Amino acid sequence: MTNDPKEFYRFFVVEYYATGEGFSYWLQISRNYSRGNETDYELKEFEEFVGHEYYLYCNSIEEKTEEEFMSVYAPMIPSYVIRAVERKDQPAFTWQTHIHLNYS
């Protein structure tokens, strides 16, 4: 994962699928803060949000471009969040959601 300082926001995803358990998605959009040290605070915040190692490392965290993220996950995002992302003027912004779909 890279923290490209040119991107205004960063987009993180974990997808989990299990037979009989349904689907889970963890999504995060956060402001991209380029810092001089080695700590990736946005990634760390996402890991804490997901919360369990199993989901993080068995399914892996993906960092998407804005286009990749929105083309797949936009239907799961409230319109006011999409508008905030489009404006790119939020001084401090993080949006997270966990969606679980169970079809059993």
pTM of the model: 0.84
Which of the pair, 89 or 78, is modelled with greater confidence?
78
- Residue 3 clears pLDDT 80, i.e. is over it: no
| Cβ–Cβ under 8 Å, residues 26 and 13 | yes
Give the whole-angstrom CA distance, residue 28 versus residue 14.
9
Q: Taking residues 64-92, report their average pLDDT.
A: 93
pLDDT at 1: 57
What is the residue extent of each domain of the chain?
Answer: 9-101
DSSP of 25-90 = EEEEEEE----SSS--HHHHHHHHHH--HIIIIIS--EEE-HHHHHHHHGGGS-HHHHHHHHHT--
Q: Taking residues 9-16, report their average pLDDT.
A: 92
Which of the pair, 34 or 10, is modelled with greater confidence?
10
Weakest mean pLDDT among 20-34, 39-53, 54-68, 81-95 = 54-68
38-69 pLDDT, tens per residue?
Answer: 788 898 898 888 887 666 666 688 899 999 99
pLDDT at 96: 96
Query: What residues contact residue 8 under an 8 Å CB cut-off, 6+ apart?
Result: 31, 32, 88
